[in-house]
């Protein structure tokens, strides 16, 4: 049952991501990317990593892709996007090179004989507990650094977006809106 599920998910994910890359339509690309993200969480569930699967769902499908969708609203999604390909061979070379490198990087430890888990799962710990144990012992420093980085990004975002935040267009009448336009 599990190999069957794995191959099913693998084929579907590859197909959907191919649509994402090949399609000229923004809507198709976005939807297939989101659907692929959902199916990747399926792979996590097969591996028994329920927590990571759900994190994949919430973070990538619920948040990241929704923000993409926000950006896509600037396009006319009913029309195809015309992409410019000045040097297709360069794109092919770079894309292929990155893909091969990634495969080699991830396949290298599998080839090695002496691979063993540095932090084997604690017996009896449930999924989220196991993640938490590693996160707050071995990886505490990267975790805190990442959180500080996110805080910085959040403050920067607020400052960038927050100019004239005290002005609310919906709380003004027509004349006041015209006035602010003149001053601007």
Partner 1 sequence: MMEVTYLGIIIKAILILAIISAIAGFGTYIERKVLAFMQRRLGPMHVGPYGLLQIAADGIKLFTKEDFIPQNANKLMFMVAPVITAATAFIALSAVPVFPDFTIFGIFVPSIAADVNIGILFVLGMMAAGLYGPLLAGMSQANKWGIIGAARTAAQFISYEVVTGLSLLAPIMMVGSLSLIDFNHYNETHPWMVFMQPVAFVLFLIAGFAETNRTPFDLLENEAEIIAGYATEYSGMRWGMFFIGEYANMITVSVLASIIFLGGYTDLWFIPGWLAIILKIAFMFFLMLWVRASWPHVRPDQFMWLAWKVLMPLAVINVVITGIVIMV
* CA gap 152, 158 in Å, rounded: 10
Does 6 help bind partner 1 (rule: CB under 8 A)? no
Provide the minimum distance between the beta carbon of 153 and partner 1 in the complex, in angstroms, as a whole number. 16
In 3D space, the residue among 178, 161, 160 whose CA is nearest the CA of residue 169 turns out to be: 178
DSSP 24: -
**Binding residue for partner 1, selected from 109, 118, 168, 184, defined by CB under 8 A:** 168
| Closer Cβ to partner 1, 101 or 147, answer by number | 147
Among 15, 25, 44, 133, binds partner 1 (CB under 8 A): 25
Binding to partner 1 by CB under 8 A, coded x per residue (else -) over 39-68, reads --x---x----xx--xx-xx--xxx--xx-
Q: How far is CA 161 from the centre of its chain?
A: 22
Determine how many CB atoms are found less than 10 A away from the CB of residue 54.
15
Contact footprint for partner 1 (CB under 8 A): 25, 27-28, 31, 34, 38, 41, 45, 50-51, 54-55, 57-58, 61-63, 66-67, 69-70, 72-73, 77-78, 126-128, 168, 170
């Amino acid at each position: 049952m599990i190999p069957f599920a794995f191959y099913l998910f693998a084929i579907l994910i590859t197909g959907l991501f191919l649509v994402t890359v090949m399609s000229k339509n923004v809507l198709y690309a976005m939807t297939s990317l989101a659907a692929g993200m959902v199916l990747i969480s399926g792979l996590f569930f097969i591996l028994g990593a329920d927590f990571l699967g759900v994190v994949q769902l919430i973070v990538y499908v619920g948040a990241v892709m929704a923000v993409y969708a926000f950006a896509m609203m600037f396009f006319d999604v009913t029309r195809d996007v015309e992409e410019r390909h000045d040097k297709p061979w360069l794109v092919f070379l770079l894309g292929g090179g990155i893909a091969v490198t990634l495969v080699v990087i991830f396949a290298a430890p599998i080839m090695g004989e002496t691979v063993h888990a540095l932090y084997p799962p604690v017996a009896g710990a449930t999924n989220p507990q196991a993640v938490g144990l590693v996160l707050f012992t071995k990886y505490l420093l990267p975790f805190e650094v990442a959180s500080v980085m996110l805080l910085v990004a959040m403050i920067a975002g607020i400052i960038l977006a927050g100019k004239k935040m005290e002005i609310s267009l919906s709380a003004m009448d027509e004349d006041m809106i015209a006035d602010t336009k003149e001053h601007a």
